[in-house]
Chain A
Amino acid sequence: MLGNFFLRKRMNFLAYFGLLIIIAFVAGVITEYDPVKGFTSIPKAIVWGFTNFYPNVESFEKLPDILQKIRETLLVSVAATVTGGAFAFLFAIFGAHTTRFNVFLGVISRGIAIVFRNIDFSAWAMILLFSFGQNVMTGYFALFFGSFGFLTRAFMETIDEVSGGPVEALKATGAGYFSIVFKSVVPSTMPQMISWVLFAIETNIRQATLVGILTGTGIGFAFDLYYKSLNYHAASLVVVVIVIAILLIEWLSNYVRRVIL
């Protein structure tokens, strides 16, 4: 009996593993991807990077331009995340089990959040390109929708996790809905919510670069421009600036987190 049980487990594992290998092989054949060639091209790519893709003295002339672009990207990311967070807060209050005052409304807000969360930033950017064109608003809304969906989910879980007890207690005292939200849900969840917003800002800055390439705005546009005009030195400077900006933001948000938590 017991021997059979473990034998079956092992057979199952082998079957899944074999299936995985077959799928990978078939996919490779269909796409004509040669794994050997793929891996052997890595060293070549590294060599190319070291010989071409580094900032030189001339590229630093572009620095003021690049800095202005990254400022634009940073501001758009922060603005999109913060406004997305404000809307997410409302939807999370309506959707969280602890604080929803109507089951129907709760299901609706959860549904909306799920839709927004499962459409990726880049997909939003493409969709919005049609309505806004290559415009800074396109980038803003793409980031806004993405972070709205993500933060609604995060906020809902924070509310249900942290404020169940206090909400029950205040309900039992006869407190009204708004008193309960402002006196127990807000103070008990605020630090975690701020932490989520900071996290969303960090990811949004990374996404903004990509979205910028699509929408022709901000730092993504600068990179795209230099890269396509074969100015690899300036393009690499853009990458360096992005990395420094992201590190700075991460350091800053970790500092804020330490203070508030």
Chain B
Amino acid sequence: MSATPEPFLGVIDHTPVRHHILSVLVENKAGVLARIAGLFARRGFNIYSLAVAPAESGARFSRVTIVVDAESAPLEQIVGQLDKLVNVVAISDISPKDALERELLLATIKTDVDNRTSLLDIIANAGAAIVDVDAKSVTVMLAGTPGGCDELERALESFAEVELHRTGRVALPRLGKTASA
């Protein structure tokens, strides 16, 4: 593993600039996600990652964080078309340099006595936490920057058996920065 990635509150941002983060408040109604996915598919916009959860105001709204590939279409087009979906209530566009982004990674790694030490090193370096362990495997969790998650994912590639899941990122503007509506 190369340089130590900064754990948790790190600011290294490995997101290529062409990625843009759209934080989309939607009505929490059946089929809303299909409407968004369908729109992206038929207009040829690429989604890099997508995270959905109920928004602060309870059951009525959900927040969808979409990382879009702004090279597949101009961001103005993507936002303009998205805004026409009747169930989309508000869109804020956070440019990558102004964004605080976090993502959750969970991975279960098969280990043996030979490589357990190196795994523990990787976990410590990444600032990840061990959340489950038995004689043959370790499950680790990292809540970090997408770049930090990338680095951990790469570091774990040397292990033969890894089951790894990532949530896709959520984001807020950095303090003092604003999202454009």
Q: Do A and B bind each other?
A: no
Where the two chains meet, the residues of A that have a C-beta atom closer than 8 Å to any C-beta of B are: none
